[in-house]
Amino acid sequence: MNKLRGFTLIELMVAIGLTGLVAVGAYQTFDQAVRASGGAQERAAQVNRLDRSWRLLEKDLQHAIPRQNVSASAFQAPADAFYGQRVNTGHFDESESDLRAEPLTLENPLGQPWFLRLNRLAWENPLKAQRSDLQGVAYHVIEGKLWRLYWPVVNNDDIELDFSSLDFTQAGDTFAEDVQLEGSAMRQQILMEGIEGMAIRYLPNSASSLDSGSWQVQWPPTSNTSSGEVVPASMPLAVEISIYLEGFGESTRLFLLQPEA
């Protein structure tokens, strides 16, 4: 007569241990897969924001016009038709290898919240509001975030000189979501985050080609006429912008502006 025989305590402990090892291995594999998927989705979202930001910049620059406002003060000259700050953080120079990876903040030497400012045409008006299709546009980078500002052009500098109510601490979950500022006609939109470096250069209309050595590091340039005089209403022929993005690296775009008449 055969006797029924169960598991010994040692056999049971070995079985439990093996089961635990298999479960831990399966969990680690699953966790790595989830992390990889999440990282890929985050990277794809960042690339998408970068691409959409480039397209918005392209649209603004292609519709830029050489138009100056009337100064709000009789003692102050009107703003230039196109303003481009001197920007080069060194991230695109091969000799610079010890740059720290930290969010970029650009300080405007004039104390204004933008590194690029222009007037443009073709402001879409789907609701047929009673307003001009002229739009003032500016771009700003603070704590690694790229912001777009815009306002209606009313033929004076009152609106664009009133930027005290701007709030660059807001979080932006939606690309280019409008933020209406209380008591101001200026609106702001956050385009993307994670900017660590930037470089910009401007090609004057006098350049014979894009490979010309006449690229300028700011606009208006210190001198853009044979007499050494600066023309406030002048526009560059092209603008090249390079962005160094966290987890992505360098991205550069060249934008051609409408030639001056």
Strands (E), 42-86: 64-65, 82-84
* Lowest model confidence (mean pLDDT) among 49-53, 81-85, 177-181: 177-181
| Mean predicted lDDT score pLDDT of the chain | 80
Provide mean pLDDT across the span 179-207: 85
Domain assignment present for residue 163? The answer is yes
| pLDDT of amino acid 127 | 74
Provide mean pLDDT across the span 189-218: 89
Residue 159 · residue 196 · CB < 8 Å: no
Domain assignment present for residue 201? The answer is yes
Q: Which long-range contacts (CB under 8 A, 24 or more apart) does 118-125 make?
A: 118/60, 118/61, 118/64, 118/81, 118/82, 118/83, 119/64, 119/65, 119/67, 119/69, 119/81, 119/153, 120/60, 120/63, 120/64, 120/65, 121/63, 121/65, 122/63
Tell me the C-alpha distance between 125 and 230, whole Å: 35
Dihedral pair phi/psi, residue 14, rounded to 5°: -65, -45
Dihedral pair phi/psi, residue 117, rounded to 5°: -145, 140
Say if residue 238 is exposed, middle or buried (CB neighbours under 10 Å; 0-12, 13-18, 19+).
middle
Domain assignment present for residue 1? The answer is no
For residue 230, name the pLDDT band (cuts at 50, 70, 90). low
pLDDT tens digits, 87-110: 999 888 766 556 667 899 999 888
| pLDDT of amino acid 203 | 93
| Percent of the chain residues past pLDDT 70, beyond the cut | 75
Domain assignment present for residue 111? The answer is yes
* Residue with more model confidence, 158 or 19: 19
Tokens of 100: 């720290």
| pLDDT of amino acid 251 | 94
| pLDDT of amino acid 146 | 95
Structural domain count, the chain: 1
Q: How many CA atoms lie within 13 A of 247 on its CB side?
A: 13
Is the pTM higher than 0.85? The answer reads: no
pLDDT tens digits, 30-82: 777 777 665 677 778 888 889 999 999 999 999 998 877 665 555 456 667 89
| 8: pLDDT strictly greater than 90 | no
Return the closest-CA partner of residue 148 out of 187, 181, 101, 95: 187
Domain assignment present for residue 87? The answer is yes
Residue 234 domain boundaries? 42-256
Q: Strand 116-120 to strand 249-256: parallel, antiparallel, or no bridges (unpaired)?
A: unpaired
Q: How many CA atoms lie within 13 A of 37 on its CB side?
A: 6
Work out whether the CA dihedral 213, 218, 220, 225 comes out positive or negative.
Answer: negative
Domain assignment present for residue 227? The answer is yes
Show the CA angle centred on residue 67, arms to residues 202 and 69, nearest 5°.
Answer: 120
Domain assignment present for residue 13? The answer is no
Tell me the C-alpha distance between 75 and 94, whole Å: 46
Domain assignment present for residue 31? The answer is no
Residue 238 · residue 205 · CB < 8 Å: no
